[in-house]
Structure 1
Amino acid sequence: MSVYSMTGYASLQSSTAQATNETEPARDTSLRLGVEIRSVNSRFLDLAFRLPDELRQIEPALRELLTGKLKRGKVEVRISLESAAASNLRAPSPATLQRLGSLEDSIKSWLPQAAPLSVADVLRIATNEDKKPHDHSEELLQLARQAVNELMSAREREGARLALMLLDRTAQLRTLAESAVPMVPKLVEQQKNRFLERWKEALTLGSSNVLPEIAQDRALTEATAFAIRIDVAEEITRLASHLDEIDRLLASGGELGKRLDFLIQELHREANTLGSKSASLELTRVSVDMKVLIEQIREQVQNIE
């Protein structure tokens, strides 16, 4: 399966013919249908619809279509239905103007205070008279299905890009973890030598009755305790295990955003522990570099479905 981002965009338009009143002059009465879908990241699936009032009845079908394809994300769907006649207006026929004038005179005889018809009113009424009622739900739903497929393709392409970036970061984290492994034995050896040097100085000053063998045993004991205190083998092992699981999830694809988010928290915990046990500048730098990479992974995982 593919890795899907929650970020995507799709926009489609089409034209459809509209029936007209045969008694009126011929004019362009085609309709432009449009579907636009925007998607960004969200913890859950959050759908919002912007539909003309005459198309509210298709919202349940649109919701069912989207919930069948998407699992997470804040999704906004805009549907437009525009008449091409708006850009190709023709003068109303004399018969229409005569009928509107007669109706206006009749209304004013009963309602003298009624406002007169404006040019915009006349054009709107004449245009509406040309139209015969037609349900465009099926055409729009078909267009919406195509738009959703385009959205899924866009989310898949973005998801593939994110997966490559995450695999690059996990590889860098593995390299950092491997560099930290030989640091601990070196630190232990350095600390043991420091303990021995201190005991030798104390013996040289003659202020101690401690035998050299006892001093060496004490130094080894101190070094052992220090080694236990700074040992990060468990942290490195757990970190490698989490990285393996992240790579496995990215390879399997599907709905994995929440599981990745949990693993990122675990990675951050191990990097923090490694930093708290640090006894050298080099190990501290490794911990800091790890946290930077983990934060980069966290930011991008927020966009994965």
Structure 2
Amino acid sequence: MVTSMTGYGREESGNGQVKVFAEIKTVNHRFCEYTIRMPRQLLILEEKVKKKANQYIRRGRVEIFITVEGESLVSKKVKVDWDLADQYVDLMAKVKDTYKLESSITLQDMLQLESIFMTEEVPMVPHDLEASLLKAVSGALDNLKTMRAHEGQELAVDMVNQLNRFREIIAGVKNHAPRVVEKYKARLETKLADLTDGLIEDSRIVTEAAIFADRCDINEELTRLESHVQQFSATLSENEPIGRKLDFLVQEMNREVNTIGSKANDSLITKDVVEMKSLLEKLKEQVQNIE
């Protein structure tokens, strides 16, 4: 099954107090690469989110965004720097004794010393938040999978059409290739007859034609090209990530087409080579979007 690397999925989950929103975007990439953004208090769940995503995604650049609405994910706690408070009290007592002051140290005096009191944020993750988060992520991944599969099938249909056209061109080249030698032999006979007044031996013409035929023989390339096209077509039905395999096959097909173009020495085959290269370029662009 052909699966595109491009897709989008979104889902929400939660209860009356908290809602979790999961948004996932994927684009083509050579490997599987993650970017996960979520509230700092939830970073402890990042590996679980990635593990869940790995069940759906094998290749591509993945961006996951997690947002939470509702109850605060932090609580505030006041702490006292007792060592510093002791120093203040000792110092104020010393000042009082030194200058014979009558006032006493009060709680109000201590509250004015802000450096003694510190506010600390403590992460507070509701007990059911993890389940809600993973549920939202799973829903977003299901939606993403559906979109990637739909786009993948559209790519598959288009690639099958291009492969069918590719087969037609190969069949035409195979049918025309033998005529290239015949045309060369006829031109050679005419040219040599003009130059030698018909005194050239037939054996010489046959030898030259044989040398030319060996030099421009493309049967092996056409056979390998047909094999690659068949493998490409069969791979489209495999139920696993196939993008890298298809990319390799496109490269091999392009190699054979280039060789045919350099050996054929015929204008009609050259025209077919140009069309095959155009089809391969389109296939290459589509393959780069396949997981």
TM range, normalised to the smaller chain? 0.7 to 0.9
One-letter code aligned to 1:168: N
**Root-mean-square deviation over aligned CA pairs:** 2.4
CA–CA distance in structure 2, aligned partners of residues 203 and 3 of structure 1: 63
- Partner residue in 2 for 1:253: 239
- Partner residue in 1 for 2:257: 271
Maintained 8 Å contact 2:217/2:264: no
1:188 partnered with 2:181: yes
Deviation at 1:107, TM superposition (A): 9.1
Structure 1 segment 51-90 matched on structure 2, within 5 A? 51-83=38-70
CA–CA distance in structure 2, aligned partners of residues 9 and 107 of structure 1: 59
CA–CA distance in structure 2, aligned partners of residues 248 and 237 of structure 1: 17
CA offset digits 1:137-174 (Å, max 9, x no partner):
11111111111111111111111111111111111111
- Partner residue in 2 for 1:36: 23
- Partner residue in 1 for 2:190: 197
CA–CA distance in structure 2, aligned partners of residues 229 and 107 of structure 1: 103
- Unpaired segments ≥5 residues, structure 2: 73-106, 116-120
- Partner residue in 2 for 1:13: 12
Structure 1 segment 16-165 matched on structure 2, within 5 A? 16-18=15-17, 31-83=18-70, 110-111=112-113, 134-135=126-127, 136-165=129-158
Summarize the Cα distance change of 1:107–1:189 in structure 2 as closer, same or farther, 3 Å threshold: farther
- Unpaired segments ≥5 residues, structure 1: 19-30, 86-104, 114-127, 205-209
Maintained 8 Å contact 2:8/2:147: yes
Maintained 8 Å contact 2:193/2:199: no
What's the % identity of the aligned pairs? 34
Deviation at 1:69, TM superposition (A): 2.3
Deviation at 1:198, TM superposition (A): 2.2
Summarize the Cα distance change of 1:296–1:56 in structure 2 as closer, same or farther, 3 Å threshold: same
Maintained 8 Å contact 2:41/2:125: no
TM-score by length of 1: 0.76
What is the total number of aligned residue pairs between the two structures?
250
Summarize the Cα distance change of 1:112–1:295 in structure 2 as closer, same or farther, 3 Å threshold: closer
In terms of fraction of residues, the more strand-rich structure is 2
One-letter code aligned to 1:285: K
CA–CA distance in structure 2, aligned partners of residues 137 and 84 of structure 1: 14
1:222 partnered with 2:227: no
**Higher mean displacement: 134-143 or 34-43:** 134-143
TM-score by length of 2: 0.79
1:234 partnered with 2:206: no
CA offset digits 1:229-271 (Å, max 9, x no partner):
1111111111110000011010223111111111111000001
- Partner residue in 1 for 2:281: 295
Maintained 8 Å contact 2:13/2:132: no
Q: Which stretches of structure 1, 4 residues or more, deviate above 6 A after TM superposition?
A: none
Summarize the Cα distance change of 1:293–1:106 in structure 2 as closer, same or farther, 3 Å threshold: farther
Corresponding residue to 2:229 among 235, 243, 247: 243
Maintained 8 Å contact 1:184/1:227: no
1:168 partnered with 2:154: no
Summarize the Cα distance change of 1:106–1:35 in structure 2 as closer, same or farther, 3 Å threshold: farther
Maintained 8 Å contact 1:6/1:40: yes
